[in-house]
Structure 1
């Protein structure tokens, strides 16, 4: 980072952090907050809730498609213009969803909204651009913690918005938040391109460069496996608590609030560890907690009846492990190619998206043994991630050894 950027970063640090947290919050509304409105949407468009669920799938596809292009493009033309354009497109898509009474048009506008939301992938690139060192790591910990808390409270928020404003409520709040992000980005970000130490690469070359690195892919897989543990629980938690344990929706929402508190605790622990130990050790500690949570889940499934406490206690441990390991792994990955931060963020987000979707889908295929399946998944994913981390460390040590023994290296 050059001196000009350092001055801007120092002057706008708090504003940039608030912008990034607003982007994290905004990412929750198009999906999680809308879930309680499925019955109302189905009634409005004269479709079934299953048909309405298609809008979620199309939204995910739209984001995945958009972010693949947005990241590399931002390395060339800068972050600010793409973020502002994304907010405008997402607002237009949300307005279309609110105003239409035709289901096909509703799906089309959801895709438009998703394409605009693809610019959220720039959050990691902006962290890389605007912050340095330990401060960068602390902000990523804060973003992961905030994401977990926002997701945990989203069922209650969605229920409240549905009761007070109807199904359109979540879209109106999304529009308001998108306008806030637009204004913040307009005022806080500059128009300069990201710093580059070499020749700008094309789209394919950029992806080939970052995905050709074992360390880069390895660290993002570690982050993806840690996130998949959290995401899998969120996806199948209604099946455990509402279908198998027969809890009311309100009680289920309260349980998710407790789960959100675990994210706060994990974030505090991660912040303390970030000041005292290396990111590599943070990754090991976080993944070890996920491994222990998996073993505890298997023990409770084998020796105790299914209860909310038996599910929640190991999940709180897993959540802490995710909050500790994921930001450290993400920071390691993003630091490898600072001049291709946009491409790095897009590639990493795609890896996380694919892993989380596939793993949660596989877990949901065994609804009769969800608790045990979660436990086995946590053990397997954490062991693979620990092996990847060990492999990366060995390669780094071997590389350092090769440099030392080269003639003329003294």
Structure 2
């Protein structure tokens, strides 16, 4: 195993550099959601069906998910900066292709390029955090990233709607390209290279296979990946079902649905804020277990109310808020712990964690939609099943790195596993 030398406490720990990492992680959700208000206008201009135009969202997400598995190991091989800048260049190129698109196929090709480039964001941002910070600070910064990812879907459609109202859908892609250029310039100027020991063989098939085996033999990593996928599955079930349940079954107006959905989404931000505050005092295992138990308790109440015939807007929205708050609270601590076992392949580990979370959650959400009709009871049952599975997984398979005991003073992210941490300069 290669020796690991932690990055010195340099410019990367300054607030502006942290803000750049947060922005990079939020780029993909911004690119998805700022585009939504323009879809009807694009459908009219190109004479295409709404289903065809919606492929611009689906293809972006598929490309984004898969691209992480390339950018992560590339950053282990060549460094975080070259990989990040190459990914952002591809994102900007995709934005320009969408801008000049004269047909739907060209537009879809541009969105695929955007997704392939956007996949660099979470993989590199998380890896830079693990390269740089001790455990409690890593959890705090990852909580900020979680906040940004939750906030982007709430704000981006507003900006997209304003642009569509006063300009056109093409300006949306000018904005996206400009954001990509701005983030690339800010990263180049503010964030130094944090991968101090790049591995020239990181992309070779034999080394990749060995590194994948290391990841999936780790009880900590596998538990965290499954846990995050299950928690995200409950979130996707709510996202895909809530409009039918809240409007058609519970009588919310479109405006009321917007406020209710925003309130539930705010739960992720509230949970991430709590996690950030607790990260200096609680070990990650206690944070994750508290978060999972909170989500399960709320889901139990939600399904009990639905089963008793007491389903209502508050009886659905308030428990859902608490479930998503548990998600936002668990994610940063679980991510920091899982990635902390593999500082020398943090890029690959971050990519696999992100991809597996999206794959598991998407599969569960699609299966749920195919199996049941939307309703207060099925929504509650789906979120209860996901929350119960997550809590059971944590209780039955919790590895030592997610124990409830605090690690020894001075232990960093990797040190939470009990392995000796290589000497490094003191970090904040």
Long gaps (5+) in structure 1:
398-410
Alpha-carbon displacement from aligned partner over 1:205-236 (angstroms, at most 9, x marks no partner): 22222123232111111122122222321232
Distance in 1 between residues matched to 2:275 and 2:194, nearest whole Å = 33
Greater Cα offset, 380-389 or 143-152: 380-389
Alpha-carbon displacement from aligned partner over 1:90-116 (angstroms, at most 9, x marks no partner): 111111111111111111111111111
For residue 331 of structure 2, what is the aligned residue in structure 1? Answer: 326
For residue 9 of structure 2, what is the aligned residue in structure 1? Answer: 7
Distance in 2 between residues matched to 1:309 and 1:169, nearest whole Å = 39
Asked whether 1:231 is paired with 2:236, we answer yes
RMSD: 2.6
For residue 408 of structure 1, what is the aligned residue in structure 2? Answer: none
Distance in 1 between residues matched to 2:399 and 2:219, nearest whole Å = 12
For residue 287 of structure 2, what is the aligned residue in structure 1? Answer: 282
Aligned length: 396
Contact 2:28 2:119 in 1 (8 A): no
TM-score, scaled to structure 2: 0.85
For residue 94 of structure 2, what is the aligned residue in structure 1? Answer: 93
In the TM superposition, residue 133 of structure 1 has moved relative to its aligned partner by 2.2
Alpha-carbon displacement from aligned partner over 1:163-199 (angstroms, at most 9, x marks no partner): 2233234322211211121011111233464437998
TM-score, scaled to structure 1: 0.88
Greater Cα offset, 15-24 or 73-82: 15-24
Contact 1:64 1:350 in 2 (8 A): yes
For residue 382 of structure 1, what is the aligned residue in structure 2? Answer: 387
Long gaps (5+) in structure 2:
404-428
Distance in 2 between residues matched to 1:365 and 1:168, nearest whole Å = 35
Change (3 A) 1:255 1:167: farther
In the TM superposition, residue 251 of structure 1 has moved relative to its aligned partner by 3.6
Contact 1:44 1:101 in 2 (8 A): no
- Equivalent residues in 2 for 1:6-405 (5 A)? 6-9=8-11, 12-120=13-121, 121-191=123-193, 193-195=195-197, 202-245=207-250, 247-304=252-309, 306-365=311-370, 368-393=373-398
Contact 1:279 1:328 in 2 (8 A): yes
Change (3 A) 1:83 1:324: same
In the TM superposition, residue 243 of structure 1 has moved relative to its aligned partner by 4.4
Distance in 2 between residues matched to 1:223 and 1:205, nearest whole Å = 24
Change (3 A) 1:193 1:322: closer
Greater Cα offset, 90-99 or 52-61: 52-61
Change (3 A) 1:91 1:198: closer
2:280 is paired with a residue whose SS is helix
